[in-house]
Structure 1
Amino acid sequence: MEKGKAFLVGAGPGDVQLITVKGLEAIKKAEVILYDRLANPKLLDYAPSDCELIYCGKLPDRHVLRQEMINDLLVAKVLEGKIVVRLKGGDPGVFGRVGEEAAALAENGLSFEIVPGITSGLSAPLYAGIPVTHREFGESFAVVTAHDKSENGQPNLDWKGLATGIDTIAFYMGISNLPYISENLIKNGKSPDTPVILIQWGTFSRQQTLEGTLSNIAAKAKEVNFTNPAITLVGDIVSLREKLNWFEKKPLFGKQILLARTGTEESELARELMEHGADVIEFPKWKKISVPADQAVISRIPEYEQILFTSPESVKEFFQIIFDAGVDIRKVKADFYGCSTKSVKALNEKGFFAEVEGKMPPAGKMLIVGNSDFAQKYNHAEMFLTSIKVVDEQFTPIFNRILEEASVNTVVLPSSRAVKTIIEEGIMKEIIPQQLLKTSKIVCMGVRTGEAAIEYGIVPDKVLESPDKTAVVNCLARKESELAFV
């Protein structure tokens, strides 16, 4: 068997757009991904649908897989001839144990590449408005682990060198050792008044910060129960935050949104919400299963008067199928309709004028392309399946972990089908807690979506007349008091 190859990839600090181009390319061709807790699970959306996903996450009080087991698993999967991605939060070379994993591969004569990532010690401060170097505040910067392999986990560092020789220090995962860190820096020459900032979940919309000084930061953190994952930044440069804090001023910062997903393609709405500062959890994850093309339907293509496309994906698949079958598009005489504005847009991009389903006349020989959900509604129509869409069950435990760590405060329902999906695939399967729909703000895109939500017992906080991404962003950017029920 031909040996495979491993890519040891830095996933960046959290914001999915901060992964490198090379790292993303590795994910897109992976056959196996071993991923950590701090690698944003949204990156797994880019993996092939048949990619095997293995969770290797660690928490301070428990290990899902110990490092030795991860090394062995990495070697075993590469020996199977697989393209294996080891996806690690931040940069794999900064407290990421990439040296141990690369050594295990090298000792077994296996091929590998190391793909650097953006480390949280640099990025989390920048997302909090603090560059780690500045001509007026500091020309030296150190990254330091706040834990070591000793029994008490307290690092044995050159405290004198850190306190007197380094302007700015970033401690990784140092919350539990804050009293120890502060005490040693002060004891070795750092002023008790030196500014300190704690940055939790840096670069995520759920980013939290806590400011203080070496003399009081430990007490402040204990008072509010501040926890890891966090960066502790020590130095006068922290004072720049008041002027340069940019990320937390984005209009949707702090919004943790559950977005009901009905398609397999990347969501433009999700991307727009993230651009404006929100964290977005798209649920569920769908995958397509190909089905043989119905040749009898293909032969009757010129006879149809109306063709209704159930999704943007069905548009792309339909035209590819008839092209492969040798059908000249000029033989298609039907008027085109889409079940959503996204489907209509997909047809427009192909160069066709199309209308939404609601404007379709009741009579005429009709073909439904895509999802069979609409066959019952139009029982006089013929059905042309381009593929079967099913929920990717491999993502169920991933969603469970995401929902455990996130604090969803907003639910966006783009369509009536999305309402059905969130209930049947989320609530009824106990992946999404029913309570979440009661404690979150519910935004429905369009009147029909709002009506569908009410039928399922969901009370919307806002029903948008204009069901487009700009309207959603504008709605969520308003103050809570303005998000009144419509």
Structure 2
Amino acid sequence: MNKGHVFLVGAGPGDAGLITVKGMEAVKSADVILYDRLANPRLLEQAPARCELVYCGKLPDRHFLRQEAINSLLVEKALEGKVVVRLKGGDPGVFGRVGEEAQALSEHGISYDIVPGITSGMAAPLYAGIPATHREFGESFAMVTAHDKSVNGQPDLQWESLAKGIDTIAFYMGIANLPFICENLILHGKPAATPVILIRWGTFGRQQTLEGTLATIAQQAKDVKFANPAITLVGDIVSLRKKLDWFEKKPLFGRQVLLVRTGTNESDLARELSSQGADVIEFPRWTRIKVRPDEMIVNNLSSYEKVLFTSPESVADFFEDMIQRSVDIRQLKAKLYGGSSKSVRALADRGLLAESAEKLGAETGEDSSLLVVGDRSVRQEYPNGDFYETSIKEIDGQFTCILERMLEEAEINTVVFPSAASVKVLLEEDTGSIGFRDLLEKAELACLGVKTQSALREQGYEADVLSDKADKESLAASLAQSKKWFGR
């Protein structure tokens, strides 16, 4: 068997949009992804449906996979002929141990690419409103590890050079050694009044900051139990934050959202909420298996007076089937309906006008003039007429354990239901023992449209936020204006 290929990819500092184009292309081509704790799990959504996902994350008190085991696994999977992606937070060449992994691959004759990423020492300060350099405040910048392989883990650095020769210093993962760092910088000539800022979860919507000076910051961090993952930035340039703070002023900054998914396509709503500063976790992740359609239905398309597309995915699948079978779509003389606003838009993108499924009315019994197009999971919801099955949709079990880890580190304060079907997914489907009902008791609940609100009410819950219109912009605006949310 031919050897595979390995991509050692920098995932960026947290914001999923900060991965490079080349890094994302590698993710989309992967057979196996070994990912770190600091690589945003949202990036895994772009992996192929059958991609194997392996967690290599390290926490301060425990290791899931030690470096030697990671090296061995990279070699093992590549020797099986697979495309392997090692997805690392930040930049793999900045305190990312990429050299050790590349060396192991080289020793076994395995080809690899190293894909740089945006490092957190640069990005986290920028998201806190602080550039790394500025002509008036600092023209030199250093990135420094705040722990090493010594017995006590305290870094052995050229303290005098740092204190007197560098204007701005970014310490990586420095909270545990913060007193040691501050003492040594002061001891070797850095003024005690030098501004310092701690930035936790930089570039995420849950970003936290703490400002002080070399003389005060260690005690401040202890008082509020500030913890890693964090960047410690030292220098006069920190004072620019008062003028340049931009990210934390976004209308949904601080919102940590669980967005319930019913489709397999990337969510426009998730992108909208993220663009306004929210942390968005989408769940569950669905996979689709295409099925062969009923040939009798294909041969009799012209006989239907009404066709209902239950999802945007069903639109794509249907037209793909027609193209593969060289069917002239002009045979379809029916009036078209969409099961959601997104389905209606998907048809409009193909130049076809459709109405909402609600316009079909409350017909009962058989309807030979109606064709319902969709995946197997919605068949019972549309008992009338014939059913054109496009695919089998299943929850990807790999993402249940990923969600559990994400919920450990995030503090979800908002649950968004984009459709009535999403209520059923979260409360009735078997998605693991995560405790969704406990979460719903604590979080603010937001619904896209009155139909979704009614579905939630049937389950015994009231929506705290209801969008004026059933679109993503309206829901985002309603969340920003909510008076209940204690985050503002």
Provide TM-score, normalisation by structure 2: 0.97
With over 3 angstroms needed to count, the CA separation of the structure-2 counterparts of 1:113 and 1:243, relative to structure 1, is same
- After superposition, residues 344-423 of structure 1 pair within 5 angstroms as 344-361=344-361, 362=363, 365-423=369-427
Distance 1:126 1:12 in 2: 13
Distance 1:255 1:380 in 2: 41
Aligned residue type for 1:91: D
Is there any run of 5+ residues in structure 2 with no aligned partner, and where? none
Partner in structure 2 of residue 300 of structure 1: 300
Secondary structure in 2 aligned to 1:476? helix
Partner in structure 1 of residue 439 of structure 2: 436
Report which stretch shifted further, 146-155 or 378-387: 378-387
Distance 1:316 1:282 in 2: 22
Distance 1:264 1:377 in 2: 19
- How far off is 1:444 after superposition? 1.0
Distance 2:345 2:437 in 1: 34
Partner in structure 1 of residue 66 of structure 2: 66
Secondary structure in 1 aligned to 2:93? coil
Distance 1:299 1:479 in 2: 52
Partner in structure 2 of residue 316 of structure 1: 316
Partner in structure 2 of residue 461 of structure 1: 464
Secondary structure in 2 aligned to 1:308? strand
Secondary structure in 2 aligned to 1:106? helix
- How far off is 1:393 after superposition? 0.4
Equivalent pair of 2:465/2:482 in contact (CA under 8 Å)? no
Aligned residue type for 1:369: V
Equivalent pair of 1:284/1:425 in contact (CA under 8 Å)? no
Partner in structure 2 of residue 207 of structure 1: 207
Distance 1:86 1:374 in 2: 37
Distance 2:48 2:381 in 1: 34
Equivalent pair of 1:254/1:277 in contact (CA under 8 Å)? yes
- After superposition, residues 11-160 of structure 1 pair within 5 angstroms as 11-160=11-160
Q: Aligned residues, how many?
A: 482
- How far off is 1:378 after superposition? 4.0
Secondary structure in 1 aligned to 2:292? coil
Distance 2:147 2:297 in 1: 65
Distance 1:310 1:39 in 2: 34
Partner in structure 2 of residue 452 of structure 1: 455
Distance 1:314 1:386 in 2: 6
Equivalent pair of 1:375/1:381 in contact (CA under 8 Å)? no
Distance 1:417 1:481 in 2: 25
Distance 2:418 2:56 in 1: 34
With over 3 angstroms needed to count, the CA separation of the structure-2 counterparts of 1:89 and 1:377, relative to structure 1, is closer
- How far off is 1:326 after superposition? 2.2
Query: Could you say what the CA RMSD is over the residues aligned between the two structures, in angstroms?
Result: 1.3
Equivalent pair of 2:90/2:118 in contact (CA under 8 Å)? yes
Residue 284 of structure 2 corresponds to residue 284 of structure 1:
yes
- How far off is 1:171 after superposition? 0.3
Aligned residue type for 2:192: P
Equivalent pair of 2:368/2:385 in contact (CA under 8 Å)? no
Distance 2:76 2:168 in 1: 42
Equivalent pair of 1:372/1:383 in contact (CA under 8 Å)? no
- How far off is 1:481 after superposition? 4.4
Distance 1:78 1:44 in 2: 19
Distance 1:339 1:12 in 2: 37
- How far off is 1:373 after superposition? 4.7
- How far off is 1:41 after superposition? 0.3
Distance 2:395 2:45 in 1: 13
Deviations 1:93-118 (CA, angstroms, capped at 9, x unpaired): 00000000000001111100100000
Distance 1:378 1:142 in 2: 62
Provide TM-score, normalisation by structure 1: 0.97
Distance 2:108 2:178 in 1: 40
Aligned residue type for 2:373: V
- How far off is 1:291 after superposition? 1.1
